[in-house]
Amino acid sequence: MIRNARPADLDAIAALHTRARATYYQGHIPEEAYAGEAELARTREGWTVAVAREAAEGGVLCAEEGGELTGVAAFRTQDGETTLTQLHVDPVRWRRGTGAALHEACLEAWRRAGVRRVRLEVYEHNLRAQAFYAAQGWVPDPSATSSGSHRTLWLDVA
């Protein structure tokens, strides 16, 4: 089931986000940049802001199975540009369709809002995510130069 996030979900969202990030940051950046109590608190604070946004400014969607949070996605519209800011699936739930269901729910929300184009940034070493996004129709930004550790992708919303 995909539903809107609630403040009561924040601890579970932050923990899931932390587990997912560890899978692609491990071995690439220092552990304190993605793990530990201080980073977990910072992550929870960021999700608190996202969950509290007005619907016109974005949304946070949760995937849930059997009462357990299995994935989360967030997007934001600012200055006329919509960005998929986060899409994480609990690593123990990978390859079960959760990411695709979250992505489809985002597409539905964007279509209802009249969004025509969405951008995202994906960590350059996260090849699994890059393959997922390519399968969903996202394409690399043709005008992008090296932006450090992330690649910019775009999706035309049909």
CB 115 within 8 A of CB 83: no
What separation in angstroms does the CA of 80 have from each of 6, 36, 87, 149, 158?
Answer: 25, 35, 21, 25, 17
Domain segments of the chain: what residues?
2-156
- 128-148 exposure pattern, b = at least 16 Cβ within 10 A, e = fewer: ebbebbeebebeeeeeeeeee
102-128 average pLDDT score: 93
| 2-156 topology per CATH | Aminopeptidase (3.40.630)
79-94 average pLDDT score: 93
CB 2 within 8 A of CB 102: yes
- Average pLDDT score, the chain: 88
Does the pLDDT value for residue 26 go beyond 70? Answer: no
Element holding 130 (H helix, E strand)? helix 127-135
121-135 average pLDDT score: 90
Which tokens belong to 79? Answer: 């200055």
pTM recorded for the entire structure = 0.87
- What percent of the chain is modeled with pLDDT above 70? 89
